């Protein structure tokens, strides 16, 4: 599903073409207190190498506080256009824009509704989220999208422009059309997504080769599962998603999938996991080297007048 | 501190002048999951008779859900202009109005800053909070104010008009000027507040005679304290504030005063407390009879052309 050529970002960072580089990435930081306490425990002492923050959520201030206390830690903005639960919800930072909210005043619950919004309203909101993270003193390393809602063809031109403006790479897959179709895109959208990837790479955007995720539908031993997924990884850069959270009454009250989130957390709490991954030959990385590479490429192009 | 005449709302509801009627009121419902689980446990099986919801907080949807599941339960709107904690914060429903928010984009932390806002901006926000509660299907019985921020002379004309428009009585004390000064108002503001109270009463607004609150600065046995405060109550209607919350990691992470909130909750969980209060001659009530009285008065005045 990935294009057969070697990812130029892989070699630019000094890796060999056969190296398997993995970004172990915690989504949803700030959604609940349970995400903040879990991240605080994992960051710097586990296989976790990156995280992204949901700025519209109530616990974003606590999330920012723990990230700022770890200078050099990776931190992305988890661009958010949906508020999917019932008990605890969140709304746009840019105000009660009718396109972005449901009848209750929060972001829509599902991508289907969120993706009906006018691209200009989405662009304003995504900019507000990134700019708030920067205003709060976060050294933002990347952008990714909550439930993939913002990773939608009509929204991508503005998202890409925002990423280039601030020199913050978006999570973007180095997939051919077949790879995008396998992710649920229709044939035409898959073709567009693949073409956009090629255009981005030509402009110096670092892309990732593979996407993996620990399941959200089952609990159990996710450390064994992580090792199994890692063992089978092909060469290239993998963005590996987990949703770690502490087992608390708050988490259980908001998220039906709490057993999986707790299992994600328990797997990465294991003191052995990092060594076991490294023993498999996995090279752990965050987005910071990719972000710095992106900024060098943007400067080179600006210098050469390619804009 | 209270005016010496008998509260007309007390007698209109069929009480004797010497009766001691108490509304045991939980503030801050929806601020955290811990407030929702605590309220769910207390409502209908304790001495708690009323509650008010913070619409701008993340757990307002869960709060609304548990209240709607209890038809006939008292529920007020806890009008909010401040977001006082660090870890978990909330913002205006009416959008990022510069007057209402601080540099981080949330409501101001303190009343001092919140009260600098233009009254029109405050009025829009308070209306948005009440109208959201109504839109969500809450049968709103009263209005009160978080940290008292909105109970400020420049904001009161709009708040009073909003209350009259929807027939929802605001918590307002039947104090003379000295009583308001004892609450921290300057002499001129105290005079205005007392005059407004008289004017409201003349228009049919039901006022309360006394205000009591369980402490937020100490934990310990708050059941004994509740009985002690109840024993010493003078005749009339008392609005008695508590801040019940379950002891959870979320509560501890957000609120420095969590031991007191948990002590409030534990006191009202006691199966004996309600009987002990009744044995002291305390008559428990909520805002619903006052709200219905208010609506009758408004209709009578409308019918008599007094507007």
User: How does pLDDT run across B217-257, given as a tens digit for each residue?
Assistant: 999 999 999 999 999 999 999 999 999 999 999 999 999 99
Chain A residue closest to B85 (CA)? A61
pLDDT tier at A194 (50, 70, 90 boundaries)? very high
Q: Does B154 touch chain A (CB under 8 A)?
A: no
Mutate to test the interface with A, among B32, B37, B41, B61 (most CBs of A within 10 A): B61
Query: Does residue A243 carry a catalytic annotation?
Result: yes
Give how far B56 is from chain A: nearest CA, Å. 10
pLDDT tier at A157 (50, 70, 90 boundaries)? very high
Domain count, chain B: 1
Q: How far is residue B294 from each of residues A285, B74, B131, measured CA to CA in Å?
A: 65, 15, 19
Neighbours of B165 (CB within 10 A): 11
Integer-rounded Cα Rg, in Å, for chain B is 18
Q: Does B136 touch chain A (CB under 8 A)?
A: yes
Nearest to B88 among A61, A91, A248 (CB): A61
Rounded Cα distance, B97 and B94, in Å: 7
Q: pLDDT of B39-80, one tens digit each?
A: 999 999 999 999 999 999 999 999 999 999 999 999 999 999
Q: Structural domain of residue B212, as residue ranges?
A: 8-303
Distance of CA B307 to the CA centre of its chain: 26
CA dihedral sign, ordered A192, A102, A92, A82: negative
Q: pLDDT of A6-29, one tens digit each?
A: 999 999 999 999 999 999 999 999
pLDDT score at A27: 98
Rounded Cα distance, B22 and B286, in Å: 8
* Residue B2 belongs to some domain of the structure: no
pLDDT tier at B12 (50, 70, 90 boundaries)? very high
pLDDT score at A135: 98
Give how far B101 is from chain A: nearest CA, Å. 12
Q: What's the mean pLDDT in B138-167?
A: 96
Q: Does A98 touch chain B (CB under 8 A)?
A: no
Q: pLDDT of A266-283, one tens digit each?
A: 999 998 999 999 999 999
The helix-helix angle for A258-269 and A33-42 (nearest 10°) equals 20
Catalytic residue among A25, A210, A239, A243: A243
Q: Does B188 touch chain A (CB under 8 A)?
A: no
Rounded Cα distance, B269 and B259, in Å: 15
Catalytic residue among B74, B146, B243, B257: B243
* Residue B187 belongs to some domain of the structure: yes
User: B-chain residues within 8 Å CB-CB of A88?
Assistant: 33, 58-59, 61-62
Tell me B104's DSSP state: T
Rounded Cα distance, B126 and B106, in Å: 15
Whether the pLDDT of residue B181 is over 60: the answer is yes
Longest CA–CA span in chain B (Å) reads 56
Q: Are B292 and B74 in contact (CB under 8 A)?
A: no
Side-chain-facing half-sphere of A66: CA atoms under 13 Å? 23
* Residue A3 belongs to some domain of the structure: no
Q: Inspect the interface and report whether the beta carbons of B87 and A62 lie closer than 8 Å.
A: yes
pLDDT tier at B97 (50, 70, 90 boundaries)? very high
Note the residue count of chain A. Answer: 307
Q: Are B245 and A250 in contact (CB under 8 A)?
A: no
* Residue A232 belongs to some domain of the structure: yes
The set of residues, in sequence order, having a beta carbon less than 8 Å from that of B59 and lying 6+ positions away, is: A87, A88, B30, B31, B32, B33, B35, B36
pLDDT score at A3: 61
Q: Inspect the interface and report whether the beta carbons of B58 and A61 lie closer than 8 Å.
A: no
Rounded Cα distance, B254 and B272, in Å: 30
Whether the pLDDT of residue B91 is over 90: the answer is yes
In the numeric block, which tokens belong to residue B7?
A: 């509260």
* Residue A188 belongs to some domain of the structure: yes
Chain A residue closest to B38 (CA)? A249
- How would DSSP label each residue in B8-63? HHHHHTT--TT-EEEEEEEEEETSSHHHHHHHHHHTTSSS--EEEE-TTSTTHHHH
* Residue A1 belongs to some domain of the structure: no
pLDDT tier at A263 (50, 70, 90 boundaries)? very high
- What is the enclosing helix (H) or strand (E) of B229? helix B222-231
In angstroms, how far is the first alpha carbon of chain B from the final one? 30
pLDDT tier at A307 (50, 70, 90 boundaries)? low
Q: How far is residue A154 from each of residues A102, A158, B137, B257, measured CA to CA in Å?
A: 20, 9, 36, 47
Catalytic residue among A25, A27, A146, A209: A27
In angstroms, how far is the first alpha carbon of chain A from the final one? 30
Q: What pairing do the DSSP bridges indicate for beta strands B50-53 and B282-284?
A: unpaired
Mutate to test the interface with A, among B41, B56, B57, B58 (most CBs of A within 10 A): B58
The alpha-helical segments, DSSP class H, found in chain A are 8-12, 33-42, 60-68, 111-114, 119-135, 156-166, 177-182, 187-202, 222-231, 249-254, 258-269, 273-279, 288-303
Residue B203, φ and ψ in degrees, nearest 5: -85, 0
Query: Does residue A27 carry a catalytic annotation?
Result: yes
Chain A residue closest to B83 (CA)? A58
Nearest to B250 among A103, A105, A250 (CB): A250
Place of tokens 């913050």: A168
Whether the pLDDT of residue A168 is over 70: the answer is yes
Nearest to A249 among B95, B136, B248 (CB): B248
pLDDT tier at B183 (50, 70, 90 boundaries)? confident
Q: What is the complex's ipTM, to 2 decimals? A: 0.94
Q: pLDDT of B251-295, one tens digit each?
A: 999 999 999 999 999 999 998 999 999 999 999 999 999 999 999
Q: What's the mean pLDDT in B2-19?
A: 90
Nearest to B37 among A65, A89, A249 (CB): A249
Nearest to A58 among B37, B65, B89 (CB): B89
Whether the pLDDT of residue A144 is over 90: the answer is yes
Rounded Cα distance, B133 and B76, in Å: 9
pLDDT tier at A304 (50, 70, 90 boundaries)? confident
Here the contacts of B97-103 (C-beta below 8 Å, separation 24 or greater) are B97/B121, B97/B124, B97/B125, B100/B125, B103/A135
Taking phi over 0 as left and psi of -120 to 50 as alpha, with beta for the rest, B281 belongs to left
Q: What pairing do the DSSP bridges indicate for beta strands B282-284 and B20-29?
A: parallel
In the numeric block, which tokens belong to residue A15?
A: 């890796």
Q: Inspect the interface and report whether the beta carbons of B250 and A246 lie closer than 8 Å.
A: no
CA dihedral sign, ordered A66, A70, A76, A77: positive
Give how far A88 is from chain B: nearest CA, Å. 5
B90: domain CATH number is 3.20.20.370
Chain B residue closest to A249 (CA)? B248
pLDDT score at A4: 64
Whether the pLDDT of residue B1 is over 60: the answer is no
* Residue A148 belongs to some domain of the structure: yes
Give how far A94 is from chain B: nearest CA, Å. 7
Side-chain-facing half-sphere of B33: CA atoms under 13 Å? 24
* Residue B1 belongs to some domain of the structure: no
Q: Does A33 touch chain B (CB under 8 A)?
A: yes
In the numeric block, which tokens belong to residue B200?
A: 């409201």
Q: Are B197 and B174 in contact (CB under 8 A)?
A: yes
User: B-chain residues within 8 Å CB-CB of A253?
Assistant: 33, 36-37, 62
Chain B residue closest to A92 (CA)? B95
């Amino acid at each position: 599903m990935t294009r057969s050529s070697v990812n130029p970002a892989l070699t630019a960072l000094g890796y060999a073409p056969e190296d398997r580089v993995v970004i172990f990435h915690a989504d949803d930081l700030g959604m609940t207190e349970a995400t903040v306490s879990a991240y605080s425990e994992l960051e710097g002492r586990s296989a976790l190498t990156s995280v992204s923050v949901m700025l519209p959520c109530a616990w974003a201030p606590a999330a920012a506080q723990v990230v700022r206390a770890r200078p050099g830690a990776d931190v992305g903005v988890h661009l958010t256009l949906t508020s999917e639960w019932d008990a605890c919800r969140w709304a746009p930072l840019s105000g009660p824009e009718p396109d972005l909210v449901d009848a209750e005043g929060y972001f829509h619950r599902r991508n289907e509704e969120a993706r009906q919004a006018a691209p200009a309203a989405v662009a304003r909101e995504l900019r507000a989220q990134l700019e708030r993270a920067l205003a709060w003193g976060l050294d933002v390393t990347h952008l990714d999208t909550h439930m993939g809602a913002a990773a939608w063809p009509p929204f991508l031109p503005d998202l890409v422009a925002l990423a280039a403006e601030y020199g913050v790479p978006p999570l973007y897959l180095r997939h051919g059309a077949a790879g995008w179709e396998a992710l649920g895109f229709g044939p035409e959208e898959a073709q567009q997504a693949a073409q956009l990837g090629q255009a981005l790479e030509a402009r110096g955007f670092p892309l990732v080769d593979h996407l993996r995720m620990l399941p959200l539908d089952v609990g159990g031993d996710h450390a064994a599962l992580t090792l199994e997924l890692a063992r089978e990884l092909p060469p290239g850069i993998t963005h590996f998603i987990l949703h770690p959270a502490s087992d608390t009454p708050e988490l259980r009250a908001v998220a039906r999938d709490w057993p999986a989130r707790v299992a994600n957390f328990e797997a990465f709490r294991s003191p052995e996991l990092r060594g076991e991954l490294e023993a498999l030959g996995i090279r752990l990385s965050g987005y910071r080297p990719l972000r710095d590479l992106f900024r060098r490429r943007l400067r080179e192009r600006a210098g050469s007048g390619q804009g």
